[in-house]
Amino acid sequence: MLKTNDLGYWYDRQENSLFEHVDLEFKSGTSYAIVGQSGSGKTTFLSLLAGLDKPRAGQIELNGQPINKIGLTNYRKSHVAIVFQSYNLFNYMSPLNNLLTAMAVTESSHKGDKAFAADMLRKLGLTDEQMKKNVQKLSGGQQQRVAIARTMCCDAKLVVADEPTGNLDEENTKFVIDQFQKIAHEQNKCVIIVTHESDVAKACDHSYRLAKHEFALES
Ligand SMILES: Nc1ncnc2c1ncn2[C@@H]1O[C@H](COP(=O)(O)OP(=O)(O)OP(=O)(O)O)[C@@H](O)[C@H]1O
Ligand SMILES: [Mg+2]
């Protein structure tokens, strides 16, 4: 579904590249972990896959079409759902309205379906009372779960997440990983998760390590 062709990125000079000549393939119905030392370039790599930044070398293809041909704005709107480390929810809205807004502005087969959105939030363990509160009144972990529910409401076949369990305890981490596995296996999406946690990486179908400017398959 998603392929990187000879992908390279550097911030200032090519001699200091984060990675170069990256040829990877990510399939739908599969979950992937990206691990690596702090500062190795994981978030940067994810931002290229999400169409938030342009590669310095090479290109990314979605189902055989270069994403710059699709147009990055269009690509982000129709094909990618992102879970940021800092959730990026609308703070002045309830979880329910966050989901309904995301469904309204992106591709979703459930536009306006409040019951569907509520069901997704319930699946992620939010109570009916919590889903109507302002999101600012929720804990970090609860907000993180709203951000994950949001990806489940939209049709985007690619879900990328940066440290989605960074703020969660062990029990919630297990739960969230389980949900990501369901998104991959039951919704037939391609899920790519950047993580520091080896338990999270092990739970994914495949794991890549970014080290010495290269991605190596670990499992
Ligand atoms: N806008 C920027 N301008 C210049 N250098 C940057 C910029 N953003 C990040 N970097 C540098 O690029 C490198 C990779 O950053 P990135 O955020 O991709 O790493 P990471 O692997 O996600 O790290 P962490 O695990 O700590 O989140 C770092 O050394 C960082 O200092
Ligand atoms: Mg990072």
* Domain spans, the chain: 2-217
Q: Is the pLDDT of residue 84 over 90?
A: no
Distance 217 CA to ligand 1 centre (A): 21
- Cβ neighbors of 35 (< 8 A, separation 6 or more) are 42, 194, 195, 196, 198, 201, 207, 208, 209, 210, 218
The pLDDT of 176-180, averaged and rounded, is 93
Query: Which CATH number is 2-217 given?
Result: 3.40.50.300
pLDDT tens digits for range 8-33: 999 999 999 999 999 999 999 999 99
Q: Which ligand has an atom closest to residue 215 CA? A: 1
Distance 44 CA to ligand 1 centre (A): 7
The number of helices, as runs of H, and strands, as runs of E, in the chain is 8, 10
Q: Which pTM value belongs to this model?
A: 0.93
Nearest protein CA to atom 28 of ligand 1, as residue = 39
Return the ligand 1 atom nearest residue 194 CA. 22
- Tell me which residues have their CB closer than 6 angstroms to ligand 1: 11, 18, 36, 38-44
